[in-house]
Amino acid sequence: MTARKKPKVYITRKLPDAVETRMRELFEAELNIDDRPRTQAELLDAVKTAEVLVPTVTDRIDSVLIEAAGPQLKLIASFSNGVDHIDVDAAAKRGITVTNTPNVLTEDTADMTMVLIFAVLRRLIEGSRVLTEDPASWAGWSPTWMLGRRIGGKRIGIVGMGRIGTAVARRAKAFGLSIHYHNRKRVNPATEEELEATYWDSLDQMLARVDIVSVNCPSTPATFHLLSARRLALMQPSSIIVNTARGDIIDEAALIQLLKQSKIAGAGLDVFSNEPLVNPKLLKLAHEGKAVLLPHMGSATIEGRIDMGDKVIINIRTYFDGHRPPNRVLP
């Protein structure tokens, strides 16, 4: 960074110590040591003086907030891969640059997708609960007890074949699944060949033919309830769905109904439509062994969070050095 006054950076959540130390060195950083999520009023106040806002997926950076920002706010350097919590068009109108932290969450999120597939098909949580909640009820091994479903040989249908979808496909192939995918456009022929992947132009047709549906597309107005009641109803009764992307891509109420009626065999969800609230009906389904629920942990690794922090720092430094930040979303 050239010799200029350190940029005033407002960080909305507690970040890993190493990241905060570096931010303190490089910026006039206002940190959130106690990690209390900031209220909208506090954010409104912060954007009056900050030059850089570092939000996370738990903040709502809407048009009201962006329009209320002072002229000094130049950059929203999100500590996230997804930017659905930011009104990027409103930021673009104000000439505020938005950056994110892609790539560094890909492998961890793909791992968690596989964890959910295994957890649902092999009944991991149910089995573990027997031992942790009522060990005396375990009568020992039995040929017919706690049977799950074999992973190998199943067909996975990946909705959204971007970085994370492709990383899921690589893992799934290694476990003997056949790869099917739906995406706005086909991936390049070399990737398709490597993964022996079948492209489905029609999401409806893919949903009707696969055993596992994995949601890996971003949340945008176009993907809101992409997995609608009508589409979910096309899935086979023996099939399962996992979501490590965003809750609002699935019509959650419709999914609950189909799980209750056993028209879909199971769900593995790391994300929900109204986080941090989880629909009690989903919790009930989890207790009945029809769903595995995780509290948005897909990218939650120590390494990943440090990498995300590094990306935020690089984006801020590059911007104030007068260059285009590497992870610029808009404008």
Active site residues: 246, 275, 296
Provide the mask over 151-190, with x wherever binding to ligand DGY is found by CB under 6 A and - wherever it is not. ----------------------------------------
318 lies in the site for ligand DGY, by CB under 6 A: no
**Site residues (CB under 6 A) for ligand DGY, limited to 103-162:** 105
Question: 187: which 2 tokens?
Answer: 């991936």
**Angstrom distance (rounded) from CA 112 to CA 94:** 37
| Residue 298 engages ligand DGY in binding (rule: CB under 6 A) | yes
* Shortest distance, position 298 Cβ to ligand DGY, whole Å: 5
Rounded distance between C-alpha atoms, residue 272 and residue 19, angstroms: 28
- Residue nearer to ligand DGY on the CB measure, 266 or 298: 298
What are 67's two structure tokens? 């329009």
Task: Please report whether residue 55 would count as binding ligand DGY according to CB under 6 A.
Answer: no
User: And the tokens for 186?
Assistant: 């086909």
Say whether 115 sits in a helix, a strand or coil.
Answer: helix
Which of 208/330 has CB closer to ligand DGY?
Answer: 330
* Minimal distance, residue 307 CB to ligand DGY, in Å: 11
Q: Is 239 a binder of ligand DGY (CB under 6 A)?
A: no
Question: Strands across the sheet with 8-11, in order?
Answer: 28-30, 8-11, 52-54, 75-77, 97-99, 328-330
Full DSSP string of 50-111: -SEEE--TTS-B-HHHHHHS-TT--EEE-SSS--TTB-HHHHHHTT-EEE---STTHHHHHH
The correct pick among 219, 243, 299, 315 for binding ligand DGY (CB under 6 A) is 299
Told to check if 219 binds ligand DGY by CB under 6 A, we report no
Query: Which residues in this chain contact ligand DGY in the complex, by CB under 6 A?
Result: 57, 80-82, 105, 296, 298-299
